[in-house]
Copies of this chain bind each other. A is one copy, B any other.
């Protein structure tokens, strides 16, 4: 912040003469589709990286915060009036050469939402598609810019936050069963969890989920009780990745 002119600064350096930086908000938007953790990507229509897949995002406008820019982009990409899911700042990527055109600092965001009807025509992103994240690795799909690094940071953040927050509820459409909630952990962590112990852990945490009183009768087997998210995303004792 402090813009004091420094004795040690290079010849004639003054803040006002600095070449401009561009700032973008790029979004790692995750959901669960068919039991797999999936990320929304858009096909780039222009150079550089024309035709390659990239994270949705765009330039931050002068009068809006980066978070507002991310929410705006998200609404455009999903075709919804406003983005209702969870949105948090992830990390800022600022390698001076991450964009070949100019100096662009990217404030990356992490968004989570339950599986939706896909981004449709009329939205900004005709070329938008969900990719299962394991599919990306297997099929060696490269991402534009440093977006592979951004995605990796997002996946790591999600995996860690599941452990000690109730964030997993963002991925499941309400009302949900405890088993559906458990599938989120299993997909993100790539392991299986003991159904009984998981159930007890979640129900023993006040505020994690709220029973609706209803049951899901569509499946085979004993009908499962339905729950909604407890409210605010909260911290709690860890669900262990065993």
Q: Are A18 and B66 in contact (CB under 8 A)?
A: no
With a cutoff of 8 Å between Cβ atoms, the chain B residues found around residue A42 in the complex are 2
Q: Are B60 and A21 in contact (CB under 8 A)?
A: yes
Q: Are A54 and B2 in contact (CB under 8 A)?
A: yes
Complexed CA–CA distance, A96 and B60 (Å) = 10
With a cutoff of 8 Å between Cβ atoms, the chain B residues found around residue A15 in the complex are 22, 59
A4 at the binding interface (Cβ < 8 Å): yes
By the criterion of a CB under 8 Å from any partner CB, how many residues of chain A are at the interface? 52
Q: 1/0 per residue A1-39: CB within 8 Å of B?
A: 111101110100001001111111010000000000000
Complexed CA–CA distance, A65 and B155 (Å) = 23
Complexed CA–CA distance, A59 and B20 (Å) = 11
With a cutoff of 8 Å between Cβ atoms, the chain B residues found around residue A6 in the complex are 58, 76, 124
Checking B19, B55, B107 against A62 with a beta-carbon cut-off of 8 angstroms, the contacting residue is: B19
Q: Are B94 and A3 in contact (CB under 8 A)?
A: no
A152 at the binding interface (Cβ < 8 Å): no
Complexed CA–CA distance, A65 and B98 (Å) = 10
| A5 to B: closest C-beta gap in Å | 8
Which chain A residues have a beta carbon within 8 Å of chain B's beta carbons? 1-4, 6-8, 10, 15, 18-24, 26, 42, 44-46, 54-67, 76, 89, 91-92, 94-96, 99, 103-107, 124, 144-145, 147
A-B contact pairs, 9 of them (CB 8 A): A1-B144, A4-B46, A6-B58, A8-B76, A15-B59, A20-B22, A21-B22, A64-B96, A92-B92
